[in-house]
A and B are shown apart, each in its own frame.
Chain A
């Protein structure tokens, strides 16, 4: 039997909130274990990388437009264009390529 989507949504909200709230309410001292701190520090970069690729080339109408979005996204992010600018540029790249070229 499929699970009600609201149960997933509730679980997602509860786990996310707990992760964000627990340290702020419980831990008043700094984490001193270097390995644990380093692990937590590196986690987002690996997670976001794995989620971005190859998904970005599978999300679009063509592999090539997705690849172009990846390249332009990396290039603009490299020059510290903000979240909003990078996101919009990736979308524009895919739109233009799929409209006129591919």
Chain B
């Protein structure tokens, strides 16, 4: 048996829990897509080609608001900025001779979870490990989104209401654990939520669209934190 197919199977195995989790979470994303006025086909296509919960959620919000395209582009850059870092870290895990095609394919699906499992692989990362994980996680993500749109129409209001918080639950599961060890992150989360609430309620500030509210607060708060609390090497590696 070839080394590549071994790595593929390993990725497949590690990708199963990710795929199942994605399926449940992207169901809520499908409901958000439906609320934004997208069809099941449109939402499924979106999820097949963009595997990013926060990015897609933000995108659907902007589509619903018929926002200018440039607002969506800026938003996606901001919301997905963390993948820039993950992609940098992952580039150090690959053998230098890894071809451009492997780099393109791996890069396409650098999600929080796939980054987490692939950066933890001992030694050099074989691209087929990522392909294995991707072959369960991408279908799970797309199928969940599709069902979210389709069943979102049929489900009673209280179930839709319940499922719509699933995505926020996932966001909390990403941001809260590092806040336990890092007081700067904890402070940032509190400041961000407080200011976000203020921006949505206060006169004048509440006229700013939710998309630009996210962009403005992200840039200001992250920059302030970067200037006053620059991170050390170890903190980043622990992420």
User: Which A residues form the contact surface with B (CB < 8 A)?
Assistant: 2-3, 5-9, 11-13, 15-17, 19-25, 27-28, 30-31, 34-56, 59-61, 65-66, 69-70, 73-74, 76-78, 80-95, 98-99
Is B85 a contact partner of A40 (Cβ separation < 8 A)? yes
Beyond A15-B80, A47-B218, list 15 extra A-B contacts (CB 8 Å).
Answer: A21-B87, A24-B88, A24-B110, A27-B91, A37-B231, A38-B225, A39-B223, A40-B85, A46-B188, A51-B57, A54-B193, A60-B165, A78-B180, A83-B173, A90-B169
List 9 tightest A-B contacts by C-beta distance, closest first.
A21-B107, A90-B169, A77-B176, A49-B192, A95-B162, A38-B226, A13-B49, A23-B87, A84-B21
* 25 A-B pairs in the complex with CB atoms less than 8 angstroms apart: A8-B59, A12-B50, A12-B55, A12-B59, A20-B80, A20-B107, A22-B84, A23-B91, A25-B100, A27-B88, A36-B226, A37-B85, A39-B222, A41-B226, A46-B189, A50-B195, A50-B217, A51-B171, A52-B175, A54-B196, A56-B168, A78-B180, A84-B20, A91-B165, A95-B159
Which residues of B sit under 8 angstroms from A16, Cβ to Cβ? 50, 52, 55, 76, 80, 83
Closest to B190 in A: A49
Q: Which of A21, A25, A53, A60 contacts B193 (CB 8 A)?
A: A53
CB distance from A46 to the nearest CB of B (A): 5
B90 at interface by CB-CB < 8 Å: yes
CB interface residues, B 11-29, toward A, < 8 Å: 17, 20-21, 24-25, 28
Which residues of B sit under 8 angstroms from A66, Cβ to Cβ? 165
Q: In the bound complex, what is the Cα–Cα distance between A27 and B87 (angstroms)?
A: 9
Given contacts A13-B49, A46-B222, A56-B165, A51 and B96 within 8 Å (CB-CB): no
Q: In the bound complex, what is the Cα–Cα distance between A42 and B226 (angstroms)?
A: 7
Dominant SS among interface residues on chain B: helix
Closest to A2 in B: B66
Size of B's binding interface in residues, CB under 8 A? 104
Is A53 a contact partner of B197 (Cβ separation < 8 A)? yes
CB distance from A8 to the nearest CB of B (A): 5
Q: In the bound complex, what is the Cα–Cα distance between A46 and B200 (angstroms)?
A: 16
Given contacts A9-B45, A50-B196, A94-B162, A19 and B81 within 8 Å (CB-CB): yes
Q: In the bound complex, what is the Cα–Cα distance between A92 and B225 (angstroms)?
A: 35
CB interface residues, B 66-97, toward A, < 8 Å: 66, 69, 72-73, 76-88, 90-92, 94, 96
Closest to A102 in B: B158
Is B107 a contact partner of A25 (Cβ separation < 8 A)? yes
CB distance from B187 to the nearest CB of A (A): 10
Q: In the bound complex, what is the Cα–Cα distance between A31 and B201 (angstroms)?
A: 39
Is A82 a contact partner of B230 (Cβ separation < 8 A)? no
